[in-house]
Amino acid sequence: MDEIDMKILHELARDSRCTYETLASRIGISVPTAYNRVRKLIKKGVIKRFTIDVDYAKIGYPIRALVGVIIDPRFSANARTAFNELGNVLRVVEVTGRFDFILDIIASSTDELKDLLTDKMSKIRGVIKTETMVQVYSSEIPVI
């Protein structure tokens, strides 16, 4: 990994759909060099996949929440599976510190989020406590 590889990763993290021409132009390298470097990063496993960034508010999910979960360690593996099966959970991350898991959740309304947290989460064996941080997204409200 050198400075060019790091620049490639930075640019692709910002816009993974950019063409090799655009990538090369932004970094100041030739198109064949950009192509070969990206292919090598993929082959080495540095780039695992290309993905999208969805505007969930535009498809009816303006509520985004991060939920910290404290769980009885005996039920950790089963809880992770149960979290992944909840329909609105985008990602489950196991962490150290105050929480055992952080869940990234979307919801169409605060009522839907409340239902998920109070009804569905309470049925998952081993959940001791949750703490929710909510952000409301709207396509009409500019982010400052």
pLDDT of 138 reads 62
Q: At what angle do helices 3-14 and 20-27 cross, to 10 degrees?
A: 130
pLDDT of 23 reads 97
- Cα–Cα distance measured from residue 38 to residue 116, given in angstroms and rounded to the nearest whole number: 41
pLDDT of 139 reads 53
pLDDT of 140 reads 54
Per-residue pLDDT of the chain (144 residues; tens, 9 = 90+): 999 999 999 999 999 999 999 999 999 999 999 999 999 999 999 999 998 888 999 999 999 999 999 999 999 989 999 999 998 999 999 999 999 999 999 999 999 999 999 999 989 999 999 999 998 876 555 554
Q: At what angle do helices 31-43 and 20-27 cross, to 10 degrees?
A: 100
For 98, what's the count of Cα atoms within 13 Å in the CB-facing half-sphere? 6
| Residue corresponding to tokens 């540095």 | 46
Specify burial of residue 63 (Cβ count, 10 A radius: 0-12, 13-18, 19+): buried
pLDDT of 144 reads 47
DSSP result, 121-143: GGGSTTEEEEEEEEEE--TTSPP
CA dihedral 12, 15, 21, 25 (to 10 degrees): -80
pLDDT of 49 reads 92
